[in-house]
Structure 1
């Protein structure tokens, strides 16, 4: 929910299965101007797929990030805040503790949004930064607990789905070994393919393919061989479909300790990036165009909504 407006500055907080992210922005003549963007790996979805509840340690990590974000909101004089929670929060039975902890720290109650709204917000954020993308456009957001796919044209979503496959969910449920065994990889690939085949998304019709979120941006940084993460070089980068297949195979064959040696790898993503890469690769096999990576995502879609 949103707090009463006290200034033209707004904030969007996206709390997913693996990370929590903040975007603070203010209105300007062209729409909005970014003031601060931040990401913390908190793994809120730790064990949720197996137990159906938030782990106490996951709540502690997430609330610590909320404390930091509360300080940022105060520092920028933010008037309106929208806090959305996605896949893990949709699945957890002890959501009251999560809601209460966020409300105590930020003064807002988390909105646990359905998958279709998550997909539409990601689409709005991605297309806002790529208005010239050839239509129909497929926007892909591979999260920790779910993957959102939205096919749209003329800047409007036409078909959007949220699939219960994400990097954390897939790692915990199937790709449990370090590194995953060949049997696990085969089982995970079949699981992904079954969901994609039943999704109803017309992949063949897409004339452009935009990837948003931490999986897509991380894969781009690795393919480019960046010595350090560079948002400017990731945004708008094109990752060939063949490179996604090669990278997926490479990451699935590496133990986590070696994945951590990749210069741009965030520690909290090292153990699950192989699962995200596999999902991206299986989608790539259905596409007729290469992947364009965007740093504009669900946060930008939320901010656009807050600023009207």
Structure 2
């Protein structure tokens, strides 16, 4: 058993998992056996990707919000005694001209160099975290869809990754790129839908989106929409994990979010304040994926890239 810390820094949020992980020495790949016991799992909205799509740079205030969260996470990692830490940064950092400033700041705070992973690497880690528990419980092949702030990852396989692709549509990027009003105008919505359709065409050139038995959805847009579908009075990760939400309900909620005002979205019980202005775009991506794949429902997973990071960190002594 190894106590590890995993940090996932995306376009919208930064998340931490400290866990005790047991992985046999021979284990490797998404289908390898292993056990993970959470000690601390948390998320903060830092909007690192603020305006990256427009400027190509990480804003100073966005960097400071992220570094402040890193300082809080460093205290938790030290208090819980993690012996290995792995930190990955995803879409916003891949796109930024000044990502060296981000890398230097994180290394100074946490003592570990952040890995600015490719979209394919991000997809593989998400697949590992999301599917370890599903083998023998839900049929494959699986299509894991991770809807982030700046990008969406698609990865397919059964006991291992068979195809993966990352495309630059996410809830923050779509909202900013199409200048969503409050609420978005029909023209803005149609433009965003066309953007997503083009991204799905690109993903489908690599990943067989229509050749799947179980669609697994990850990240905050998916869990928030699922929480709305389940009428949860508050965010409840236990209730959400492995919930199955039918496409008809996703369509109903997406239509509602796209026509709701900021105040109306903010009043939804499961809504995190940091997702109020981007959730409509996230729901739009989820619905487009379900319609393209023909999936009758989506299986919600609370286990994702963080869990994949924890497993790989424990399995690779050199980290």
Q: Same fold (TM over 0.5)?
A: yes
Q: Does 1:83 align with 2:93?
A: no
Distance 1:26 1:238 in 2: 28
Of residues 122, 126, 130, the one that matches 2:126 is 122
Residue 175 of structure 1 and its aligned partner are, at CA, apart by 4.3
Residue 125 of structure 1 and its aligned partner are, at CA, apart by 0.4
Distance 1:287 1:48 in 2: 30
Distance 1:196 1:306 in 2: 31
Match of 2:282 in 1: 276
Pairwise mapping of residues 158-177 of structure 1 onto structure 2 (< 5 A)?
A: 158-177=162-181
The answer on whether the counterparts of 1:135 and 1:208 sit within 8 Å (CA) in structure 2 is: yes
How many residue pairs match? The answer is 301
Match of 2:30 in 1: none
Of residues 292, 306, 309, the one that matches 1:302 is 309
The answer on whether the counterparts of 1:141 and 1:148 sit within 8 Å (CA) in structure 2 is: yes
Runs of 4+ in 1 over 6 A off after TM superposition: none
The answer on whether the counterparts of 1:175 and 1:185 sit within 8 Å (CA) in structure 2 is: no
Tell me, which stretches of 5 or more residues in structure 1 are unaligned? Answer: 1-6
Q: Does 1:11 align with 2:18?
A: no
Of residues 264, 267, 281, the one that matches 1:261 is 267
Of residues 208, 214, 236, the one that matches 1:208 is 214
Tell me, which stretches of 5 or more residues in structure 2 are unaligned? Answer: 24-33
Match of 1:3 in 2: none
Distance 1:80 1:189 in 2: 42
SS at match of 2:292: coil
Pairwise mapping of residues 1-308 of structure 1 onto structure 2 (< 5 A)?
A: 8-28=2-22, 31-132=35-136, 133-153=138-158, 155-199=159-203, 200=205, 201-289=207-295, 290-308=297-315
SS at match of 2:162: strand
The answer on whether the counterparts of 2:21 and 2:311 sit within 8 Å (CA) in structure 1 is: no
Residue 214 of structure 1 and its aligned partner are, at CA, apart by 1.0
SS at match of 1:71: helix
Distance 2:2 2:128 in 1: 21
Match of 1:4 in 2: none
Root-mean-square deviation over aligned CA pairs: 1.2
Distance 1:108 1:189 in 2: 39
Distance 2:128 2:66 in 1: 26
Distance 2:75 2:290 in 1: 41
Deviations 1:139-197 (A, max 9, x none): 000000000011112x1111110000000000000142111100000111011111112
The answer on whether the counterparts of 2:2 and 2:22 sit within 8 Å (CA) in structure 1 is: no
The answer on whether the counterparts of 2:129 and 2:304 sit within 8 Å (CA) in structure 1 is: yes
Using a 3 Å threshold, how does the CA distance of structure 1 residues 119 and 28 change in structure 2: closer, same or farther? closer
Distance 2:114 2:292 in 1: 35
SS at match of 1:265: coil
Match of 2:28 in 1: none
Distance 1:18 1:220 in 2: 19
Residue 129 of structure 1 and its aligned partner are, at CA, apart by 2.3
Residue 28 of structure 1 and its aligned partner are, at CA, apart by 4.4
